[in-house]
Amino acid sequence: MTEQRIENVIIVGSGPAGYTAALYTARANLEPLVIEGFAWGGLLQQTTDVENYPGFPDGIMGPEMMQHFRTQAERFGARLETDDATRIEVSREGGLHKVWTGDQLYVTRALILAMGAQHRKLDVPGEAELAGRGVSYCATCDAAFFRQAPTLIVGGGDSAMEEAMFLSKFAAKVAIVHRRDDFRASRIMLERARAIPNIEWLTPYVVEEFSGENGSLSVARLRNTADGSSRELEVTGAFIAIGHEPQSQLVVGQVETDAAGYVVTKGRSTLTGIPGVFAAGDLVDHTYRQAVTAAGSGCQGALDAEWYLRDTPFPLSEAEIAEAAAGASA
């Protein structure tokens, strides 16, 4: 039986919330372990210019910003595990919490959940089958594959505008397909998108089906939500930008989540209701979902964890040590 190291704090997730929590807990000498995932950096890895993060008057590219977050956390001693968490088991009584990456078990006194959110799916026929073959959730990642191609973007928020503007630099045409005539996107983003000649606007329409030719996307069937009429659009690229879903799957049923799957925290804190388990960033936030608010929330998570560790007796009881040792042999 190998001896199981007991971590002070494990952070699961590596967007602005996760790395900020890592930075703060590292600077508090807690030697945090960050389970950052293979695709570390969160959704900002998939964005281009970030113009609304204070401190960068000329803007910064999303991936570059996340590299900075990561480097800063590491500089103060955060340890990074570039692997995906596959299972989490929280101790309801606030004992030791467990996180697995495959067969590897980690045991910790405090746990900060910062798994963020992922792209929402349309759930229409053809979407899953043609994902990666024309259907994409990230124009920043995939736009270059669609040079001079006819494309569409689904959605009416800032993400859809941002994706459309980026894609318009590559594609022959970008049709923005939105289910209402009104747009949720901010005025500045809408105005910028409206000024681009190869963006066209199709409202109020929803995509009902994607179909392909030789395994690649060729047609999107649209339905007008006002009069019910249908039309077909020949496209080889379709980008879905209809918002996000919290990545709470590993903790659903163990910490309180709301109807949409966001982790519920107490008041303005990051406390989940399970002693020693905190949640931060997009995982808890349906409302603001900004890099800067996620970073602030990660800082709160770190401080909450630090105060918890300060106020919670250590060493552990014999039962807890035995439990951790049992975990090591599991």
Query: Would you tell me which residues interact with ligand NAP (CB under 6 A)?
Result: 52, 122, 154-160, 162, 179-180, 184, 186, 206, 242-244, 289
Report the residue number, 94 or 157, with the smaller CB distance to ligand NAP: 157
Report the residue number, 52 or 312, with the smaller CB distance to ligand NAP: 52
- Residue the block writes with tokens 């804190």: 269
Residue 65: CB minimum distance to ligand NAP, A: 13
Residue 119: CB minimum distance to ligand NAP, A: 8
Catalytic annotation on 138? Answer: yes
Coil, strand, or helix at residue 185? coil
Catalytic annotation on 299? Answer: no
Residue tagged active-site, from 58, 83, 142, 311:
142
Residue tagged active-site, from 58, 141, 285, 304:
141
Report the residue number, 81 or 158, with the smaller CB distance to ligand NAP: 158
Q: Which helix (H) or strand (E) holds 326?
A: helix 318-329
Concatenating the DSSP letter of every residue in 40-91 gives TTGGGGG--EE-SSTT-TT-EEHHHHHHHHHHHHHHTT-EEE-S---EEE--
Phi, psi (rounded to 5 degrees) for 176? -90, 115
Residue 180: CB minimum distance to ligand NAP, A: 5
Report the residue number, 81 or 162, with the smaller CB distance to ligand NAP: 162
Q: Which helix (H) or strand (E) holds 191?
A: helix 187-194
How far apart are alpha carbons 220 and 210 in whole angstroms? 5
How far apart are alpha carbons 292 and 298 in whole angstroms? 10
Torsion of CA 273, 254, 42, 174, to 10 degrees: -110
Q: Which helix (H) or strand (E) holds 300?
A: helix 291-311
Report the residue number, 52 or 216, with the smaller CB distance to ligand NAP: 52
Which stretches of the chain are assigned E, i.e. beta strand? 6-12, 33-35, 49-50, 60-61, 79-81, 87-89, 97-101, 104-113, 117-119, 135-136, 150-154, 173-177, 199-202, 205-213, 216-224, 230-234, 237-240, 244-246, 277-279
Residue tagged active-site, from 138, 158, 299, 304:
138
Residue 97: CB minimum distance to ligand NAP, A: 30
Report the residue number, 105 or 196, with the smaller CB distance to ligand NAP: 196
Dihedral sign for Cα atoms in the order 264, 267, 273, 278: positive
Catalytic annotation on 142? Answer: yes
Closest by CA position to 118, among listed 238, 247, 16: 247
Residue 123: CB minimum distance to ligand NAP, A: 7
Residue 37: CB minimum distance to ligand NAP, A: 20
Coil, strand, or helix at residue 190? helix
Report the residue number, 54 or 313, with the smaller CB distance to ligand NAP: 54
Residue 291: CB minimum distance to ligand NAP, A: 9
How far apart are alpha carbons 37 and 39 in whole angstroms? 5
Catalytic residues: 138, 141-142
